Amino acid sequence: MTDIIGFAGSLSAPSRTRALVDRAVRQSAALSGRTSHVFDLGDLDASFGTAQRYADLGPKARDAVDRLIAADALVVGSPVYKGSYSGLFKHLFDLLDPDALKGKPVLLTATGGGHRHALVIEHQLRPLFGFFEAATLATGVYAASEDFDEGQPTSPALLARLQDAASQLALAIGTRGPARSRDLAYSLA
């Protein structure tokens, strides 16, 4: 199974959120010597949006959830809409058992049009993953439109934050050991 999974909660293609998550995953995998895979909302089948429980998911969405649960570490990212993460981003995590991410290292990322949404990591994402008792990294990475050029992260300050966060994730993976394989999909019945 893949050691580091990235999930970008965006339907846009191309997506700045996907580019940010891709970069963070690549850097973390290179530093930790782990394999990696990234997916976004566009990679899931149509069943995802209407699923009320894991059993309702189609094969692509079920595979994504299984990979997320089995991963040794996660890099997650969402575009900011109206001051919070996207609804479909949250929906994926609504399908998980509350213990599914317990102790799992998670790098939190987000993108927005400007800096007024920079606290989304602290006020929205960190509490969500706190519910799951995930081991969120101290460094989260928020990026505004000005941090990108042609859809790719280019700002020196952003690239430095990504490097710091990737180093923290690689260290967290090394101290945690491999994930436990469990059937932890959550039923909303």
Residue 59 has pLDDT above 60, yes or no: yes
Q: Which domains does the chain have, with CATH numbers?
A: 4-176 (3.40.50.360)
pLDDT surpasses 50 at 9: yes
Q: Indicate the residue type of 142.
A: Y
Q: What is the pLDDT of residues 168-184, one digit of tens each?
A: 999 999 876 555 444 44
pLDDT at 107: 99
* pLDDT number for residue 187: 44
Give pLDDT tens digits for 113-160: 998 899 999 999 999 999 999 999 999 999 999 999 999 999 999 999
- Output the pLDDT for position 174: 84
Given a cut of 80, is residue 22 above it in pLDDT? yes
Query: Residue 164 burial (CB < 10 Å; 0-12/13-18/19+)?
Result: middle
pLDDT on residue 61: 95
Provide the pLDDT for residue 134.
98
Question: pTM value?
Answer: 0.91
pLDDT value of position 175: 74
DSSP string, 10-28: ---SS-HHHHHHHHHHHHH
